[in-house]
Amino acid sequence: MPTKSKSWEEMVMDTEVDYYQATGNTDFQMQEVERQIAEEERNYQFASKRCLHDGDGHTSISDESECLMWIAKLEHLAKRISNSEQRLIKTDRRPRSTWKQVSRTYSLTPLGKAVWQLCCTGVPLIEIASPSVRYRDRHSWPTAPRAKHHDLAQTESMVTQFNPYITIMLHACQRAMPAIRHANGMVVDLSSEEVRRRVEWIARFVRRCCRSSHFRRIETNRTRLEEKNLASCCRYMAEGFQGHTRLLVLRVDLYIRPTHHTMADVRLAEKCLEHYLRDLDEGRIVPDVLRRICKRECGFDRGMHYHLLVALNGHKHQSARHLSKLLGEKWLKKRGPLRASYFNCYVRRHQYKYNALGSVHISDWQMLMGIREAIRYLVKGDGYVMTGHKRNLMRGNMKKRSGSQSKRGAPRKVGHDMILVDEILGNPRYEP
């Protein structure tokens, strides 16, 4: 009699018997592992955004992470304001010498203090890092003129694109900054009615824009596209396990060092990437490529760069470090070490337990979750992307099997079937 295959929850219980006897709750352990995998992926991405790599293998620390922190705060505050009715300024009543007269003083609420700090510190830093988002008004900082001469065609700055929440919050802070800047900078002086009016206007503007039907439609379309790309890319990776019980997963970051953050840097990087992906698909970089997903990004200091995930036939190849190095060395040859650089993500493998780097077996549910979290990051629309392209996610073509094709060979053994793959990658929104 053929043995009935176990569900993936039962497989996890078989490998973690002692733990389950102590907790008695399978869902708790599954949720805890998934939370740890997601946290490790976020830590990895945050660490990678702080590093600048060169062609000689040296790494330096960038200030880009500070700008990213303020950009994330822009989005957080925009959602916090739009989802509540909290005020930014509160009224304090303090009695004078006589009980008949009461003076009125004002102070910032905790939400108001966060917005004030953002206007005074975060927004100027973002404008310095990305001149294209500067507020162009009579109170704005001096900027270069918008010349259209031919000799300035190569110096055209890259355009920064933010998601809707960040765009609205940034615009509101920039509109209110002239009044705030005249209120002694970092000193919270709310004695002026104009300052109080402009600060409260930030909350009204954000709520009016974020609660409009047009904004909700834009945000819904953006999140729907992310979910669609997540499901599509997860199924794309799951198809790789149809004919192979083991995949070798490689991840590298490819960089083009910017000169002055102009569109010429963008065109150079795009040309190099086009030739690189063609060589990768045709097997001229590493052999037996089954799947590849590439995400285009452009940072404030790192310029145009790409995050590449490649899956090879795990039955033929096991040396992830060497093959990842081949991916990076080929990128250097495309442009030379003076402009191009790469980072081999495998060198950080020991810092993260479930990072889905190296050999991934069809029954290893933890590594499969790592693949899902890596894909979740790749399909996410970041607020600091400055590519100017509508689509920043690229993947290889999925080779579909013909329905009439005969399946040769013996059936897969228990533990080597597609149960885990279908549960984790086939349904990326699965909640254990």
CA distance linking residue 342 with residue 55, whole number of Å:
7
* Structure tokens that stand for 184 in this block: 């002694």
Structural contact between residues 89 and 190, judged by C-beta atoms closer than 8 angstroms: yes
* 250 φ, ψ (degrees, to nearest 5): -120, 145
Radius of gyration of the chain (CA): 26
Residue 334 above 70 pLDDT? yes
Sequence-distant (6+) residues with CB within 8 A of 272 are 256, 331, 334, 335, 340
CA distance linking residue 368 with residue 355, whole number of Å:
9
* Structure tokens that stand for 238 in this block: 């799951």
The arithmetic mean of pLDDT across residues 72-82, rounded, is 92
The arithmetic mean of pLDDT across residues 175-183, rounded, is 75
Question: pLDDT by residue (tens digit) across 196-208?
Answer: 888 999 999 999 9
The pLDDT of residue 8? 45
The arithmetic mean of pLDDT across residues 251-263, rounded, is 77
* 344 φ, ψ (degrees, to nearest 5): -85, 110
The pLDDT of residue 138? 46
CA distance linking residue 246 with residue 174, whole number of Å:
52
Structural contact between residues 74 and 172, judged by C-beta atoms closer than 8 angstroms: no
Q: Given pLDDT bands bounded at 50, 70 and 90, which one contains residue 24?
A: very low
Sheet strands (E) in 219-264:
246-256
Per-residue CA distances from 102 to 95, 96, 295, 329 (Å): 5, 6, 61, 74
In whole numbers, what is the pLDDT of the chain averaged over residues? 75
Q: Given pLDDT bands bounded at 50, 70 and 90, which one contains residue 245?
A: confident
Question: pLDDT by residue (tens digit) across 34-71?
Answer: 777 777 776 666 666 666 655 555 666 666 677 878 88
Q: How many helices (H) and strands (E) does the chain have?
A: 13, 10
Buried b (16+ CB within 10 A) or exposed e, 289-304: bbbbbbbbbbbbbbbb
CB atoms within 10 A of CB 218: 14
Sequence-distant (6+) residues with CB within 8 A of 152 are none
The arithmetic mean of pLDDT across residues 24-33, rounded, is 66
Q: Could you tell me where the DSSP H helices lie in 16-158?
A: 17-23, 26-49, 64-82, 110-117, 123-129
Question: pLDDT by residue (tens digit) across 126-169?
Answer: 888 777 777 766 444 433 334 333 344 345 566 667 778 888 99
The pLDDT of residue 145? 38
Q: Which residue has the higher pLDDT, 415 or 199?
A: 199
Q: Which residue has the higher pLDDT, 1 or 210?
A: 210
The pLDDT of residue 294? 93
CA distance linking residue 217 with residue 211, whole number of Å:
10
According to DSSP, residue 2 is labeled P
> What's the number of CA atoms in the CB half-sphere (13 Å) around residue 387?
18
- Helix, strand, coil in percent for the chain, rounding step 5: 50, 15, 35
Structural contact between residues 160 and 99, judged by C-beta atoms closer than 8 angstroms: no
CA distance linking residue 268 with residue 266, whole number of Å:
5
Q: Which residue has the higher pLDDT, 409 or 304?
A: 304
CA distance linking residue 270 with residue 283, whole number of Å:
20
Structural contact between residues 22 and 15, judged by C-beta atoms closer than 8 angstroms: no
Q: What is the DSSP string of 74-108?
A: HHHHHHHHHT----SEEEEEEE-SSTT-EEEEEEE
Closest-CA residue to 108 (of 177, 52, 187): 187
CA distance linking residue 355 with residue 344, whole number of Å:
13
Query: In terms of DSSP bridges, do strands 59-61 and 289-299 run parallel, antiparallel, or are they unpaired?
Result: unpaired
> What's the number of CA atoms in the CB half-sphere (13 Å) around residue 185?
3
Residue 383 above 70 pLDDT? no
* 50 φ, ψ (degrees, to nearest 5): -90, -5
Q: Using DSSP, state whether 55 is helix, strand or coil.
A: coil
Per-residue CA distances from 68 to 62, 114, 385, 408 (Å): 11, 16, 11, 52
Structural contact between residues 432 and 425, judged by C-beta atoms closer than 8 angstroms: no
CA distance linking residue 13 with residue 250, whole number of Å:
29
The arithmetic mean of pLDDT across residues 214-231, rounded, is 88
Residue 230 above 80 pLDDT? yes
